[in-house]
């Protein structure tokens, strides 16, 4: 569901930056999904993060006409602040994409998804709403409840959000979920920047010959 705005995207060293926030109950696997995507690693147990933490990943983002562009994707993590509802509006604001995350083995985490969606939406006007996707994590677990997942699919369809069953532990569908979000954000990026002078747009990276500072295997 692409939504356009008239503002252009912020840049770092000439490279566009897109901000993504993960939202959902404590323990659903947000930090694990980020680590799987960025480093292709998984650690059992809750990992401590610092407030204001983010991870940058340089990704090739698909655009129109089979074009693509290298962009810095900044993944914002809650640092456990969702546990005592102490996330500030700063965490929600100025995001291009939001991953609504729940744990397939804990129904109550699905029931809280609407709360997280609304908490994010409260920070946006109609024309600048970020792209949302839904991620149902821990899908390798046999105890998952498929009835609740069915409800999640219906909720996602009604909202026109893409929905993915993932496992950060077993590396199932994590790349696919992130790539779908990149693709949605790429479309909006183009809409925002379409009216820019040709010269500026043509600074897009020559993928064959690019010399990127960070190269993530997930994104190639």
In sign, the C-alpha dihedral spanning 208, 209, 212, 217 is: positive
Residue whose structure tokens are 């610092």: 50
CB closer to Mg ion, 30 vs 76: 30
CA 165 to chain centre: 14
Alpha carbon distance 61, 184 (integer Å):
9
CB closer to ligand GDP, 63 vs 168: 168
Give the total of residues touching ligand GDP (CB under 6 A).
18
CB closer to ligand GDP, 145 vs 200: 145
- Could you tell me if 191 and 8 are in contact, meaning their C-beta atoms sit under 8 angstroms apart? no
Q: Write out the binding residues for ligand GDP, residues 36-75 only, by CB under 6 A.
A: 44-47
CB closer to ligand GDP, 71 vs 98: 98
**Least distance (Å) from Mg ion to the CB of residue 38?**
14
Please tell me whether residue 112 binds ligand GDP under the rule CB under 6 A. no
167 binds, among ligand GDP, Mg ion, none (CB under 5 to 8 A by kind): ligand GDP
Alpha carbon distance 112, 68 (integer Å):
35
CB closer to ligand GDP, 36 vs 192: 36
Tell me which stretch binds ligand GDP (CB under 6 A): 24-32, 56-64, 106-114, 146-154.
Answer: 24-32
Please tell me whether residue 156 binds Mg ion under the rule CB under 5 A. no
Q: Residues 17-46 vs Mg ion: string with x where CB under 5 A?
A: -------------xx---------------
Looking only at Cα atoms, what is the longest distance across the chain?
54
In sign, the C-alpha dihedral spanning 129, 120, 54, 183 is: negative
Residues with Cβ within 8 Å of residue 147, at least 6 apart in sequence: none
Alpha carbon distance 17, 58 (integer Å):
9
Please tell me whether residue 135 binds ligand GDP under the rule CB under 6 A. no
Classify residue 63 by its DSSP letter. -
Binding region for ligand GDP (CB under 6 A): 26-32, 44-47, 137-138, 140-141, 167-169
């Amino acid at each position: 569901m692409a939504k356009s705005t008239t503002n252009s995207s912020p840049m770092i060293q000439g490279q566009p930056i897109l901000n993504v926030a993960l939202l959902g109950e404590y323990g659903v696997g947000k930090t694990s999904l980020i680590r799987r995507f960025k480093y292709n690693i998984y650690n059992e147990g809750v990992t401590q993060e610092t407030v204001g933490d983010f991870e940058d990943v340089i990704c090739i983002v698909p655009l129109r006409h089979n074009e693509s562009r290298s962009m810095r994707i900044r993944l914002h993590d809650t640092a456990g602040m969702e546990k005592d509802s102490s996330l500030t509006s700063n965490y929600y604001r100025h995001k291009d994409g939001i991953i609504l995350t729940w744990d397939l083995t804990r129904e109550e985490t699905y029931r809280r998804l609407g709360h997280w969606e609304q908490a994010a939406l409260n920070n946006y006007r109609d024309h600048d709403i970020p792209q949302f996707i839904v991620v149902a994590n821990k899908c390798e677990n046999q105890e998952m409840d498929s009835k609740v997942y069915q409800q999640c699919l219906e909720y996602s369809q009604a909202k026109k959000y893409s929905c993915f069953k993932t496992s950060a532990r077993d590396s199932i569908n994590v790349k696919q979920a992130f790539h779908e979000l990149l693709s949605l954000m790429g479309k909006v990026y183009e809409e925002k920047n379409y009216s820019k002078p040709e010269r500026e747009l043509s600074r897009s990276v020559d993928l064959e010959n690019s010399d990127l500072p960070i190269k993530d295997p997930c994104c190639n």
